[in-house]
Amino acid sequence: MTSTTVTTASPAAAVGAALTLDGPRPKRPSAVATSLSFGWRALLKIKHVPEQLFDVTMFPIMFTLMFTFLFGGALAGSTEAYVQFLIPGILVQTVVMITMYTGLTLNKDIEKGVFDRFRSLPIWRPAPLVGALLGDMVRYTIASIIVMVLGLILGFRPAGGIVGVVASIALLLLFSFAMSWIWTMFAMLMRTEQAVMGVSMFILFPLTFASNIFVDPSTMPGWLQAFVDVNPISHLVTACRDLMSGTAAVGQLWTVFAWCAGFVVIFGPITMRLYNRKS
């Protein structure tokens, strides 16, 4: 006597199979939509781990207060006078220093194998990287607002008004997005977060401190002035100061745009090549 077992599919499974076989094939998501989705993922990570906002909240306050009250009297005679010179520069330093955390976050995702899953999805290949950078733009905006509010409390009064301040922050965000491609490259090259942080700090410290953020370069030795003059951070600080003072120079803005384009054109393809090989 032979028994036969009959397996009946559930109604939900039957409907799913019908849709899979007979329904229209879903459209491939656009590059913009996919990048925004990964940007939202980066923001959700902040929601679940709010400690990630520590660097964009405490660092701006610490840097602004420390440099204002340590150097204000010695360099400008008073903190009120020095803050007019310092705030655009400290704004740039704060946000640019924070950009290195993009590389740290990506390196952590790569080590956990998350990006291997992303590669299997039918999406625009750079979307996970671009989305992570877009998510960090929110963090940069928060840091910029904190610096500007604190600067206004300390007595900073931009002659360019709200338009100049918004334009300078927009320029800074563009520059930070472009510069972050350097740290994404290091995220692909380095094995650990500590290595990424070490290399990033090694690059950022000379760029930020050997610039016109804190003092007039005319007081520096000639060899150092030569470096400051070609330093992209110096050009960005000058452009932000000009925008906030209402005396923006077109040539200085185009120099910053050229640096931004250079960062993306050079480090973007290198990062993607490493990303395709590493994952």
Q: What is the pLDDT of residue 49?
A: 67
Sign of CA dihedral 151, 156, 162, 167: negative
Q: What is the pLDDT of residue 265?
A: 95
Residue 186 sits at φ, ψ, to 5 deg, of -65, -30
61 token code pair: 């306050």
Contact 189, 274 (CB under 8 A): yes
Q: What is the pLDDT of residue 22?
A: 53
- pTM of the predicted protein model: 0.82
Nearest alpha carbon to residue 88 among 205, 207, 169: 169
201/98 Cα distance (integer angstroms): 10
Burial of residue 113 (CB within 10 Å: 0-12, 13-18, 19+) is exposed
Nearest alpha carbon to residue 149 among 64, 236, 245, 271: 64
Q: What is the pLDDT of residue 15?
A: 44
What is the separation, in whole angstroms, between the first and last Cα of the chain?
Answer: 56
Sign of CA dihedral 171, 50, 152, 228: negative
Q: What is the pLDDT of residue 35?
A: 78
Contact 72, 83 (CB under 8 A): yes
Specify the range with the lowest mean pLDDT, choosing from 16-25, 148-157, 241-250. Answer: 16-25
Q: Output b/e per residue, 137-167; b: 16+ Cβ within 10 A.
A: bbbbbbbbebbbebbeebebebebeeebbeb
Q: Where are the domains of the chain?
A: 29-278
The C-alpha angle 152, 52, 168, rounded to 5 degrees, equals: 35
Q: What is the pLDDT of residue 19?
A: 47
